[in-house]
């Protein structure tokens, strides 16, 4: 026969194997699953079956150290206590610390274990007769209790059963720690996803805002139509911010009244064109006129009866020259404009100020242009009329002068007294010629401005043209003790231009040179060519024009202040006419003056003779 201790040992081996199998299965389940509720329910079921006891529960502590039964396995006819909330009056801080350190409570019979009356009453209320309590610790914090209970009668808890429950409590602690960590990760993921969505929404909003600002800026730069720009701005701003009403009001000159000049709305009624007195709303306009933005909730009379209040955002439209108006936006009362949106609206308001000021400046300039056009037309008409009126008597005077000149020549041969009349007549004749030239110059300017001058281009040989042109000036130049030089580059190509116009230009430049060149100095007519242009110049030495005077020298009626008008005469039309005629034949003219020399240079684009 087997000895008693050997027999007991052989009986213990299967139980130990079953216990190890149970612990291993629960540990495997914990590693494979993150569903804490399923793990707890399966644990209490398997433990109750293994211990063959009436009830196994898991009790979870709340922050105030009350608790709730979160898992239960119980057999009939004993009470179901799942979900029950328990506040043990006998549970003290000392019990908390003991349990956290691993203390277990082993009660074979609640009536003989020396428990406090309040504890006995609590257990009796749950129909408990024997109680085995093992703490569940997660991350060194007391999370709850794993409790095996026998209800029908007292029970002696075997050491192996106590060890099993202790091992399982450790595994449950691991499951709790693992589940809480997983929950933290899920919460963190949810938080990060939310932040990513918020960030994405902000980026999308920022892109929309950037596109809006780019669109507004482009419209301000590309257009001078105030109405078109601001009407488009109100619409695009309302659509980007997803609001139902956006409008721009403008102040009158005295800033005592405002008018809703531009509006975009998806609702009714339309307020565009409405006016109101600033003095009727001092609490609003006092701040707006100080260039401060406002956001407030206001009762809106024009809204429907179901929506009588709304959130208003008002941003003043101003620049360094003053305040022009306000930009109003409206949203439902429960929605507000965030800081990012307010900054956007303020930027849009700044662009609106630029658009308004720019459009008004352009409008004022257009009025001035029209007035100047009228004055210029009147001036041209006057010059044409007076020039034509002058030309008729001047023609008669010149004809009379020619007749008189012939009589003087005939009589002077017979009578020496006529020499005195000859000198007087020359003065008279020169004055007539100057007056006639003035009339012709005025008429030419008027016709050029009216674009009624016809040019006939032809090929011109400067080697032939220039000497013939300067021939009439030689006597005058010799008489004034000046020197004349013609410098035409060898093999100079032909240039294509209007012969009569070019002749008139050079005549005017040579007249100026003869008039202002001192005795003993040199006048030069030169021509040369490069790959890109022909150069034709008239220069004279002994004269220098300051840079300030060079800027004005081609203006109508401008005369150099340093020159004596009684000595040189003239009206200041000659060089203005030169510039007009040069542009008429498709060339350009520039003046250079330094080192006691002045050069007027004509530049012609190269045209190859076919």
Measured CA to CA, the distance from residue 498 to residue 494 in angstroms comes to 13
Last residue of a domain, one of 357, 372, 399: 357
- Structure confidence by residue, pLDDT tens digits, 332-359: 888 888 888 888 888 888 888 888 888 8
Residues of the chain with pLDDT under 70: 1-17, 19, 27, 29-34, 205, 220-221, 268-269, 300-308, 379-398, 400-401, 404-405, 407-453, 557-572, 608-610
For residues 490-514, b (16+ Cβ closer than 10 Å) or e, as one string? eebebbbbbeebbebbbbbbbebbb
Q: Are 335 and 281 within one domain?
A: yes
Secondary structure (DSSP) of 412-429:
HHH-TTHHHHHHHHHHHH
CATH code (residue 552): 3.30.565.10
Residue numbers of the domain that contains 569: 457-605
Check whether residue 253 and residue 175 sit in a common domain. Answer: no
The torsion of the CA quartet 471, 472, 478, 481, rounded to 10 degrees, works out to: -110
Per-residue model confidence as pLDDT tens digits over 531-586:
888 999 999 998 888 888 888 888 876 666 655 443 455 566 778 888 888 888 88
Whether 127 and 30 map to the same domain: the answer is yes
> What is the predicted pLDDT for the residue at 72?
92
Structure confidence at residue 516 (pLDDT): 86
Residue 88 lies in a domain: yes
Q: What is the pLDDT of residue 487?
A: 92
What SS3 string covers 466-498? HHHHHHHHHHHHHHCCCEEEEEECCCCCCEEEE
Beta-carbon count within 10 A of 196 CB: 10
Q: Which of 357, 378, 408 is the last residue of a domain?
A: 357
Whether 88 and 234 share a structural domain: no
We report the CATH number of the domain holding residue 328 as: 3.30.450.40
Structure tokens at 456: 């006939």
Q: Distances in Å between the alpha carbon of 510 and those of 324, 356, 464, 506, 523? A: 58, 53, 17, 6, 8
- Let me know if residue 598 belongs to a domain: yes
Tokens matching residue 423: 């000198």
Q: Are residues 575 and 497 in the same domain?
A: yes
Domain final residue pick, 296, 324, 357: 357
pLDDT at residue number 564: 47
CA distance 351 to 342: 14
- pTM for the whole thing? 0.41
Instruction: From residue 60, give the alpha-carbon distance in Å to each of 67, 135, 166, 169, 176.
Output: 5, 10, 16, 12, 11
Q: Identify whether residues 173 and 123 lie together within a single domain.
A: yes
Same domain, 144 and 258: no
Number of structural domains found in the chain: 3
Phi, psi of 600 (to 5 degrees): -105, 120
């Amino acid at each position: 026969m087997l000895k008693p201790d050997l027999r007991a040992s052989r009986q213990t081996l299967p139980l130990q194997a079953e216990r190890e199998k149970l612990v291993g299965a629960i540990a495997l389940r914990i590693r494979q699953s993150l569903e804490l509720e399923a793990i707890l329910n399966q644990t209490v079921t398997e433990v109750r079956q293994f211990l063959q006891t009436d009830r196994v529960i898991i009790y979870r502590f709340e922050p105030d150290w009350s608790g709730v039964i979160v898992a239960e396995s119980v057999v009939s006819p004993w009470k179901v206590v799942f979900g029950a909330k328990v506040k043990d009056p006998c549970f003290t801080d000392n019990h908390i610390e003991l349990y956290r350190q691993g203390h277990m409570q082993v009660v074979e019979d609640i009536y003989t274990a020396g428990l406090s009356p309040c504890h006995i009453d609590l257990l009796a209320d749950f129909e408990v007769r024997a109680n085995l309590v093992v703490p569940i610790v997660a991350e060194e914090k007391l999370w709850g209790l794993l409790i095996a209970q026998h209800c029908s009668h007292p029970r002696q808890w075997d050491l192996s059963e106590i060890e099993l429950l202790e091992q399982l409590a450790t595994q449950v602690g691991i499951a709790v720690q693992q589940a809480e960590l997983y929950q933290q990760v899920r919460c963190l993921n949810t938080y990060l996803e939310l932040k990513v969505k918020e960030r994405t929404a902000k980026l999308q909003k920022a892109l929309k805002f950037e596109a809006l600002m780019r669109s507004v800026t482009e419209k301000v730069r590309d257009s001078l139509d105030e109405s078109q720009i601001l009407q488009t701005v109100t619409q695009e701003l309302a659509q980007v911010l997803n609001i139902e009403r956006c409008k721009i009001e403008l102040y009158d000159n005295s800033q005592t009244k405002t008018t809703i000049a531009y509006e975009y709305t998806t609702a009714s009624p339309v307020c565009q064109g409405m006016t109101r007195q600033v003095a009727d709303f001092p609490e609003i306009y006092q701040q707006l006129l100080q260039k401060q933005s406002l956001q407030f909730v206001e009762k809106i009379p024009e809204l429907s009866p179901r929506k009588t209040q709304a959130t208003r955002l008002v941003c003043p439209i101003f620049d360094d020259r003053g305040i022009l108006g306000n930009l109003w936006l409206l949203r439902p009362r429960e929605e507000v404009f965030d800081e990012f949106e307010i900054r956007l609206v303020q930027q849009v308001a700044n662009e609106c100020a630029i658009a308004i000021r720019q459009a008004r400046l352009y409008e004022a300039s257009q009025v001035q242009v029209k007035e100047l056009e009228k004055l210029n037309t009147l001036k041209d008409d006057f010059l044409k009329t007076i020039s034509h009126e002058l030309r008729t008597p001047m023609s008669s005077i010149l004809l009379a002068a020619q007749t008189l000149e012939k009589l003087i020549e005939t009589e002077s041969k017979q009578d020496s007294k006529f020499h005195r009349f000859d000198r007087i007549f020359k003065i008279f004749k020169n004055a007539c010629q100057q007056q006639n030239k003035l009339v012709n110059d005025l008429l030419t300017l008027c016709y050029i401005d009216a674009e009624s001058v016809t040019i006939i281009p032809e090929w011109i040989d400067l080697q032939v043209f220039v000497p013939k042109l300067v021939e009439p000036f030689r006597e005058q130049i010799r008489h004034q003790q000046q020197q004349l030089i013609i410098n035409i580059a060898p093999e100079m190509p032909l240039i294509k231009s209007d012969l009569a116009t070019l002749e008139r230009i050079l005549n005017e430049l040579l007249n100026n040179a003869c008039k202002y060149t001192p005795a003993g100095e040199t006048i030069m007519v030169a021509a040369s060519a490069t790959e890109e242009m022909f150069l034709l110049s008239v220069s004279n030495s002994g004269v220098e024009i300051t840079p300030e005077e060079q800027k004005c020298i081609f203006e109508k009626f401008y005369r150099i202040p340093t020159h004596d008008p009684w000595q040189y005469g003239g009206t200041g039309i000659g060089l203005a006419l030169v510039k007009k005629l040069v542009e008429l034949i498709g060339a350009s003219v520039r003046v250079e003056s330094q080192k006691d020399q002045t050069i007027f240079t004509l530049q012609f684009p190269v045209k190859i003779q076919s």
